[in-house]
Chains A and B, each alone.
Chain A
């Protein structure tokens, strides 16, 4: 295998931004670490383990949310639901009040969906309301990210 074929890792390349000589010496004399660097590495590994645990908890919290979406029930999977999701991510999730609303929506929407499923008239009314909201949300999203957000 030639050196053109070697995979280079992100952390190896990152060391080039710190000191090329260290990279060269590590290559010719083997990687050597001081006691202090060893301690720092241990601290880093512990912090990363905690960070990964937090990632899993956040992902688990996301997975339990939104098993049922009122908007999807009323509108189906379409441009309007995507716009409403973009509005959620661009506006609602960026403020404490917005996040509160999103959390409340996901907590209560399954029960509301169950109720709505047997009431086509209520779904029709909701569809009309949500389409209006989606139009307003679309204007807000376009304002933030431009026309090509979809």
Chain B
């Protein structure tokens, strides 16, 4: 039997086994990759639940998951919320992760990342793409954070809307001190 015939038999076997494999596999993969954007499905996971440090910028970040893609490492952050919403705090968190990861590993990290919001009632997940903040913005925010924590900011900014204060443990204290959030 010549190489050509064997190659043809192998090709047929390849197609048949591929069909069986794909049917069995697709349901398993769909389950563990639920809520992910199409462009990250099947991509290689670079890091999961790992802590990175930027000694240069004095930042530390633990990331949920990162994928290695042709555009660089892409970060994914999971959030559990009663509604599908992405906040500025998510963008700040991911931007800090980006700086820490880049500084520790030297890898290029994409300036776009994903926030996957898992509905706390239904358990369903939805991805949202976010554009990350730059180094200067995060560095300035770090400086301000340190100033706030050490009491050097006389009037820290309140939450954007009063409804955000509803579940805050400092609500009464805050109302008494600043008189603008009853």
Q: Which residues of A are in contact with B by a Cβ distance under 8 Å?
A: 3-29, 32-34, 36-37, 40, 43-44, 47-48, 51-52, 54-59, 61-62, 86, 89-90, 93-96, 99-105, 107-108, 111-112, 115, 119, 121-122, 141, 145, 149
Contact = CB atoms under 8 A, between A and B. Distances in A.
23 contacts: A4-B58, A11-B93, A14-B90, A16-B89, A18-B159, A19-B165, A21-B174, A23-B149, A34-B167, A34-B168, A36-B167, A40-B80, A48-B64, A51-B65, A52-B64, A55-B48, A89-B70, A93-B41, A103-B21, A103-B26, A104-B18, A108-B18, A112-B14
A93 B43 contact: yes
A25 B157 contact: no
Main secondary structure of the interface of A (DSSP, over half): helix
A18 B163 CA distance: 12
Given A20-B156, A29-B173, A57-B32, A8 B60 contact: yes
Contacts of B65: 51, 55
A36 to B, nearest CB: 5
Contacts, number: 213
B92 A17 contact: yes
Interface of B: 3, 6-7, 10, 13-14, 17-19, 21-22, 25-26, 28-29, 32-33, 38-39, 41-45, 48-49, 53, 58-62, 64-65, 69-71, 78-80, 87-94, 96-97, 100, 118, 120, 138, 141-142, 144-146, 148-151, 153, 156-159, 164-165, 167-170, 173-174, 178
